[in-house]
């Protein structure tokens, strides 16, 4: 797919979306870095049983070196992804890892005990 930035507002919308998403990631990362010590142990250990990543998250919570790596990489990764998106440096790499983090966060909270479509719709 090829976008022609000289036509219409496509380029401006993409840049605005990149800047908003970058701010969102940068803010999330910086607040974790400067706030209380970040720990993903509770999130990983208490993933819903219906989550497709529940087994992996439980293993990560029970493995000390992986938990330490996660506790370091989530805040710094969010901050660097946000900075990359805002500044425009390594945008594709930042967007890829931002997408990976969002998929992990989404699937970690997914309670699909009754399937993807449930009574909430």
Distance CA 43, CA 45 (A): 6
The tokens describing 45, both together, are 């250990």
Is residue 79 in a domain?
yes
Distance CA 57, CA 59 (A): 5
Per-residue pLDDT of the chain (121 residues; tens, 9 = 90+): 665 556 667 778 888 998 999 999 999 999 999 988 888 888 888 888 778 888 898 999 999 999 999 999 999 999 999 999 999 888 899 989 999 998 888 888 777 665 666 555 5
Distance CA 69, CA 84 (A): 21
Is residue 46 in a domain?
yes
Is residue 68 in a domain?
yes
Q: Measured between alpha carbons, how far is residue 42 from residues 12, 47, 65, 111, 120 in Å? A: 40, 8, 16, 17, 26
With tokens 């330490």, the residue in question is 68
Total domains in the chain come to 1
Is residue 3 in a domain?
no
Domain that holds residue 81: 26-109
Is residue 119 in a domain?
no
3-class DSSP assignment, residue 19: helix
Is residue 34 in a domain?
yes
Is residue 65 in a domain?
yes
CB 84 within 8 A of CB 23: no
Say what the pLDDT of residue 12 is.
Answer: 84
């Amino acid at each position: 797919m090829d976008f022609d930035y000289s036509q219409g507002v496509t380029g401006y919308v993409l840049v605005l979306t990149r800047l908003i998403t970058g701010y969102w990631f940068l803010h999330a990362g910086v607040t974790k870095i400067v706030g209380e010590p970040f720990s993903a142990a509770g999130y990983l250990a208490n993933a819903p049983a219906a989550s497709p990543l529940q087994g992996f998250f439980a293993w990560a919570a029970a493995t000390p070196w992986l938990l330490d790596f996660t506790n370091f990489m989530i805040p710094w990764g969010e901050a660097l992804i946000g900075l990359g998106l805002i500044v425009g440096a390594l945008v594709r790499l930042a967007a890829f890892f931002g997408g990976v983090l969002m998929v992990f966060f989404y699937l970690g909270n997914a309670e699909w005990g009754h399937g993807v479509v449930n009574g909430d719709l």
